[in-house]
Structure 1
Amino acid sequence: MLQLLFAVAFSAVPLTLYVPPIRSLSLFVETIEDVVRQSLIYALSAYPRIRFLCSRVFNSFLRFSR
């Protein structure tokens, strides 16, 4: 039983190398939240203009097809 415990413990040690420390993880999450917040502000301001542009293009296509 002790051998099984050691085998499991030593096989899990390399997995800890792939998990970043909490300090860098929180900095990463904070950076991602900031990027999402800034892109959301831009997307909300650009959305009405994109809708207007698409409606103008579709209206011009409909007008030329008549």
Structure 2
Amino acid sequence: MLQLFFAIAFSAVPLTLYIPPIRSLNLFVETVENFLRQTATYTLRTYPRVRMGCSRIFNSLVRLTR
């Protein structure tokens, strides 16, 4: 059982290198929030256009299968 514990513990150590430290995590969260805030207006503007385009494509496909 002790060998299993050490095997799991030592295999998890490299994973800690991918977790950023807490002091840089705040900067990362702030950057993500800014990115989402800037893209929200673009997304809200393009969503109706994409939806209309998809509906036109699906309608033409339905007409072709009739």
TM-score, with structure 2 as normaliser: 0.58
The answer to whether structure 1 residue 63 and structure 2 residue 63 are counterparts is yes
Return the alpha-carbon distance in structure 2 between the equivalents of residues 43 and 28 of structure 1. 22
Aligned to 1:39: 39
Aligned to 1:51: 51
Could you say which structure has the larger radius of gyration? Answer: 1
Q: In the TM superposition, what is the alpha-carbon distance from 1:60 to its structure 2 partner? A: 0.6
Task: Indicate the percent of aligned positions where both proteins have the same amino acid.
Answer: 51
After TM superposition, which residue ranges in structure 1, 4 or more long, deviate above 4 angstroms?
none
TM-score, with structure 1 as normaliser: 0.58
The answer to whether structure 1 residue 20 and structure 2 residue 21 are counterparts is yes
The code of the aligned residue for 2:64 comes to F
Q: In the TM superposition, what is the alpha-carbon distance from 1:26 to its structure 2 partner? A: 2.1
- Size of the aligned set, in residue pairs, is 49
Structure 2 unaligned blocks of 5 or more: 1-15
Return the alpha-carbon distance in structure 1 between the equivalents of residues 52 and 20 of structure 2. 46
